[in-house]
Amino acid sequence: MVKGRQGEQVRLYVRGTILGYKRSKSNQYPNTSLIQIEGVNTTEEVTWYKGKRMAYIYKAKTKKNGSHYRCIWGKVTRPHGNSGVVRAKFTSNLPPKSMGMRVRVFMYPISNGYAFIIPVLLVKFVNFISSPDSCTDTVS
């Protein structure tokens, strides 16, 4: 973790919960998982997370590469429904014991052109505020 200014830790990820596999009435599709991201409640909020990387971190019994912890990487692909749930594809399908467990949804890579849109919107907002005709009083 990265240290903040006053010593508090800064998280570069948002917590998510694995809800299960994508499914229909009689079939389930284990190659696509459903994830509920904390603080995301609408489809519009999901658009920022599209393309973001996520990690399911779990503990194994045997050491591998000097650690008991292992990771399965995935990516947010699209929204699922209207309540902020996302669909995600992982490099290998998530195991069934992962249902209800946590994933880390990282704030990078910044995709969808947001790296360019946010500064442009900020400049437009500053220009709008600083223009003299935007502050006219029409009180009669």
- The answer as to whether 96 is a domain residue is yes
The reply to whether 1 falls in a domain is no
140 residues of the chain, pLDDT tens digit each: 555 567 677 888 999 999 999 999 999 999 999 999 999 999 999 999 999 999 999 999 999 999 999 999 999 999 999 999 999 999 999 999 999 999 999 998 876 555 555 555 555 555 555 555 544 544 44
Q: Return all residues near 105 (Cβ < 8 A) that are at least 6 apart.
A: 13, 14, 15, 16, 35, 37, 49, 52, 53, 54, 76
Q: What is the pLDDT of residue 8?
A: 72
Q: What's the number of domains the chain is made of?
A: 1
- Would you state the pLDDT for residue 106? 94
Report yes or no on 136 lying in a domain.
Answer: no
Strand runs labelled E in the chain: 2-3, 9-10, 13-23, 28-37, 53-64, 67-80, 85-90, 102-106
In a domain, 138, yes or no: no
33 domain-assigned? yes
Please tell me the pTM assigned to this model: 0.73
Is 2 a member of any domain? no
Question: 44: domain CATH number?
Answer: 2.40.10.190
Write down the pLDDT at residue 21: 98
The answer to whether 35 and 103 are in contact (CB under 8 A) is: yes
What is the predicted pLDDT for the residue at 129?
A: 57
- By residue range, what is the domain housing residue 22? 9-131
Instruction: Provide DSSP, 71-111.
Output: EEEEEEEEEETTTTEEEEEESSPPPGGGTT-EEEEES-S--
Task: Determine, yes or no, domain membership for 23.
Answer: yes
Residue 13 tokens read as 């990820």
